[in-house]
Structure 1
Amino acid sequence: MAEQKNKFKPTAQQELPPALQKVFDQATTLEWITVIYIASVIVVMMLTMQSSQAMKATWLEDVLSIIPGISFLVARRFYNRPPNEQFPFGYHRCYSIAFQLGAFALLFLGLFLFYDSFSTLLKEEHPTIGSITIWGHRIWMGWIMIAALLYSCIPSIFLGQKKLPLSDKLHNKILFTDAHTQQADWQTAMAAIVGILGVGLGFWWADSAAACFISISIIIDGFQRLKGAVEDLIDQVPTNLENSKKHPLVEKTYRYFDKQSWVKEVRIRMREAGEIFFTEVFVVPKSMDKLFENMEAAHDEVRKLDWKMHDVVIIPVREFSEELDESK
C-alpha cells in the first residue's frame, strides 16, 4: 500500500535527464563568462562615456544587462531544493521571480532614460567630446568611445548565439531573455555610434536623439518581458519561450487522455513553474472497473511524454463543472 502512495506523491524535486544536465552546465558556464565580461564592459564604458547621453544610455543598459546572468546563477542554487512543509511545491518559481525582477528593472530604466534624454534634447544641451593625448598623439575621444561600444556588443552577439539553443532545450525563459537581449546589443551600440559621429560632425542633437532611440527600444523590451513574467506568475497556460503561443505539450497531453479507452471526457489544467509544468487532469471515466490501475498507468505514461511533465495529478469526476468546461 505504501508503494501505491509513492506512485502519486508529488515529485517537486526535479532531476534533469543526464543529457540536459550537460546542457545546464554549459549554460551555467556561459552565464559566468557573461557576468565577468559585462562587468568589464561596465568599467570600460564608465571610463569613456564623458558627457554623451547615448553612451550614458548604453552604459546603463549594460548595468542592467548583468541582472539576468546573476539572476540565473542565483536561482540555480535554489530552484531544485526539495519541497518542505512551508513550500510543498518546491522552489521552481525562482526562475520566474528572477525573470520578473529583471523585466521590471529594464522597463523602469527605459522610462528614466527616455525622460533624461528627451529633457536634454528640449534644453538644447550641447554635449562635448574632447581629446586625449596618448604617446604624444592627440586622439579624439569619440574614437575611443566607439571602440568601447564595439567591445560592448561584438562578444555579446556570440554569447547570445551560444545561449539561444540551450535556452530552448532547457525551456528557461530568463536564459532566453538574456540570450535575446545580448543578440540585440548591436542595435544599441550602432545607435550610440551614430550619435557620437553626429556630434563629431557638428549635429549636437544626434547624441540625445540616439539616446531616445535606445531608451524606446529598452522600454519595448522591458514591457514585453514584464508582461510575460506576470502572466507566468498568475498561472497562464504554458507557452513557448517567446510567450507567443501555447506550448505543444498541452495539446499532446490532452490527446493522450482523449484516446484512452477508459476515458469518456477529459479536461486539463496545466501551469508553468520555471522550467517545468504542473498538470491537473480531470477525467470522467467510462466505468469504475480497474479505474485506479488505469490512472496509475496513465500517470506513468504522461510523465514520460517530456521531462518537463513534472507533477501530474489525475482526478476522476462524475461530470464537469462550469469552471472545468472552460479548460481544454
Structure 2
Amino acid sequence: MTDLRSGGTVRFGHTELPAEQRDALRKAARLEWATMGFLAVTTTLVFLVLGNSQAMKAAWIEDLLSFLPPISFLIAARIIRKPPSEDHPYGYHRSTGVAHLVAAVALTVMGGYLLVESGLGLLKAEHPTIGGIELFGSTIWLGWLMMAVMLLTAAPPVFLGRAKMKLAEKLHDKVLYADADMNKADWMTAVAAVAGVGGIGLGLWWADYAAALLISASILHDGFKNTRAAVSALMDKRAMTYDDGEPHPLGRQVDAYLRSLDWAAEARSRIRDEGHVFHIESFVVPAGGAVPSLEQLEAARKDCVAMDWKVQDMVIIPVAELPSEFLPGPTSGGEH
C-alpha cells in the first residue's frame, strides 16, 4: 500500500487505479483535509458569537455535522485499499456505504432534533435577545459580529463543493458527492442565520426561529436523502451513476458487446455497485446451443474488464435461456 500523497500505485482492493482516478483521489483527500481545517476555524468563530440566537445554534450544529462526510471519506478511502481476504472475499468496498450511512443517519437525527426544538421555541413564543459586547474599548451589538461571521463563512464551502463534485464523478464516490452537494448548499444556511439575527435586531423575534426551522429542515432533507441513497446501495440496488441520477451506462455497454460476439445469441447482466467498483454477472445464451470454449469466455471477460476501471470482478455464465426472474427487464438497458 502506498500513501495517497505519494506518486506510486494506488489500489481499490486489487483494482489498480488509472492515473486520472489516482490523481482525483489525492485531490479529493486534500480537499477534505482543507474542508476540515476550514470547519475547525468556522465552528470556533460561530461558537464565540453564538449568543441566544436559535438560528446561530442551528448553523453551528450544522457546521459540526459537516465534519462527518470528510471524516467518513478519508477513513473509507483507506479501508477500501485493503486487498480481499479469506473473511472478506469481495474486499472492503462496502466500507464506503457504511460510512455514508453513518453520516446520513447522524444528519437525520440531528436535523429532526433541531426542527422539533426550533418549532417548540416558536410555539412558546420565546423571545431571544442579543446583547452588546466590549470590543476595542467600544460596546457594539453582538448581532453585527454574528452576521459578519456567517457571511465570511458562506462562500468557501460553495467553491469546495464544486471542486469535490467533479472529483466525485471521476471516482464514482457517492460519499464525496453527498459532501459536495451539502457544501454547495451551505450558503443558504449562512443567509438564513443572517436573516434570523437581523430579524431579532428589528424586533421580529419570530424571524430567528423561522431561520432555525429553515436550517433544520435543510439538515433533515440532507439526512433523509443520503440515508435513502446509502440504504439502497447496501441493499444491492442496480448500479447507478455517482449522483443516483440514472442507471449506470456500463450495463448497456457490456450487454451490447456480449451480444455482438459471434458465439452469443443473447446476453443480459446484473451489476452490483460495491462502492467504487462493480461486480458483474453476465448471463449469455450461446448461439445454436454450442457451448463456448474457455478461451472464448476468458477473452470476452477480459474485454469487458478493460471497458472501465470500475469493473473489478466479472463472471460470464453460459445458460440455455436467460434467468429473467432475477435479471432486470430488457427495457432497463441491462443494468442492475
Deviation at 1:322, TM superposition (A): 4.3
Q: Which amino acid aligns with 1:50?
A: G
SS in 2 for 1:268: strand
Q: Is the 8 A contact 2:291 2:318 kept in 1?
A: no
| Counterpart-to-counterpart distance in 2, 1:274 and 1:104 | 18
| Counterpart-to-counterpart distance in 2, 1:270 and 1:65 | 32
Q: Which of 290, 300, 308 is 2:302 aligned to?
A: 300
Q: Is the 8 A contact 1:285 1:291 kept in 2?
A: no
| Counterpart-to-counterpart distance in 1, 2:152 and 2:313 | 45
Question: Residues 273-292 of structure 1 correspond to what in structure 2 (within 5 A)?
Answer: 273-286=274-287, 287-288=289-290, 290-292=292-294
Question: 1:321 aligns to what?
Answer: 323
Task: Describe the superposition over 1:243-289 as per-residue Cα deviations: whole angstroms up to 9, x where unpaired.
Answer: 12111111111111122221112121101011111100111112436
Task: Describe the superposition over 1:10-36 as per-residue Cα deviations: whole angstroms up to 9, x where unpaired.
Answer: x95222112221111111111111111
Deviation at 1:46, TM superposition (A): 1.3
Q: Is the 8 A contact 1:171 1:241 kept in 2?
A: yes
Aligned length: 318
SS in 2 for 1:139: strand
Question: 1:151 aligns to what?
Answer: 152
Q: Which amino acid aligns with 1:71?
A: S
User: Structure 1 residues 48, 258: closer, same or farther in 2, change over 3 A?
Assistant: same
Q: Which amino acid aligns with 1:248?
A: P
Question: 2:3 aligns to what?
Answer: none
Question: 1:310 aligns to what?
Answer: 312
Q: Is the 8 A contact 2:162 2:184 kept in 1?
A: yes
Q: Is the 8 A contact 1:267 1:324 kept in 2?
A: no
Question: 1:79 aligns to what?
Answer: 80
Q: Which runs of 5+ in 2 are unaligned?
A: 1-11
Question: 1:43 aligns to what?
Answer: 44
Q: Which amino acid aligns with 2:132?
A: S
Deviation at 1:291, TM superposition (A): 2.5
| Counterpart-to-counterpart distance in 1, 2:264 and 2:292 | 12
Question: Residues 9-48 of structure 1 correspond to what in structure 2 (within 5 A)?
Answer: 12-48=13-49
Q: Is the 8 A contact 2:13 2:80 kept in 1?
A: no
Question: Residues 206-225 of structure 1 correspond to what in structure 2 (within 5 A)?
Answer: 206-225=207-226
| Counterpart-to-counterpart distance in 2, 1:161 and 1:291 | 49
Q: Which runs of 5+ in 1 are unaligned?
A: 1-10
| Counterpart-to-counterpart distance in 2, 1:289 and 1:195 | 71
Question: 2:102 aligns to what?
Answer: 101
| Counterpart-to-counterpart distance in 1, 2:79 and 2:246 | 28
Deviation at 1:114, TM superposition (A): 0.5
Question: Residues 197-208 of structure 1 correspond to what in structure 2 (within 5 A)?
Answer: 197-208=198-209
SS in 2 for 1:28: helix
SS in 1 for 2:154: helix
Question: Residues 128-207 of structure 1 correspond to what in structure 2 (within 5 A)?
Answer: 128-207=129-208
SS in 1 for 2:178: helix
Question: 1:112 aligns to what?
Answer: 113
Q: Which amino acid aligns with 1:233?
A: L
Q: Is the 8 A contact 2:56 2:193 kept in 1?
A: yes
Q: Is the 8 A contact 1:153 1:182 kept in 2?
A: no
| Counterpart-to-counterpart distance in 2, 1:264 and 1:89 | 30
Structure 1 residue ranges, 4+ long, deviating more than 4 angstroms after superposition: none
1:247 maps to 2:236: no
Which stretch shows the higher mean deviation, 133-142 or 227-236? 133-142
SS in 2 for 1:323: coil
Task: Describe the superposition over 1:65-111 as per-residue Cα deviations: whole angstroms up to 9, x where unpaired.
Answer: 11000111111111010111100000011111111111111111111
Q: Which amino acid aligns with 1:102?
A: A
SS in 2 for 1:50: coil
Q: Which amino acid aligns with 1:144?
A: L
Q: Which amino acid aligns with 1:321?
A: P
Deviation at 1:126, TM superposition (A): 0.6
Q: Is the 8 A contact 2:258 2:267 kept in 1?
A: yes
SS in 1 for 2:16: coil
Which stretch shows the higher mean deviation, 150-159 or 89-98? 150-159
User: Structure 1 residues 321, 133: closer, same or farther in 2, change over 3 A?
Assistant: same
Which stretch shows the higher mean deviation, 117-126 or 247-256? 247-256
Deviation at 1:325, TM superposition (A): 4.9
User: Structure 1 residues 64, 309: closer, same or farther in 2, change over 3 A?
Assistant: same
Q: Is the 8 A contact 2:49 2:145 kept in 1?
A: yes
Q: Is the 8 A contact 1:17 1:307 kept in 2?
A: yes
Deviation at 1:115, TM superposition (A): 0.2
SS in 2 for 1:92: coil
Give aligned-pair identity as a percent: 42
Q: Which amino acid aligns with 2:14?
A: Q
Deviation at 1:220, TM superposition (A): 1.5
Give the TM-score taking structure 2 as reference length.
0.91
Deviation at 1:324, TM superposition (A): 3.8
Q: Which amino acid aligns with 1:295?
A: L
| Counterpart-to-counterpart distance in 2, 1:55 and 1:65 | 15
| Counterpart-to-counterpart distance in 2, 1:277 and 1:22 | 20
Give the TM-score taking structure 1 as reference length.
0.93
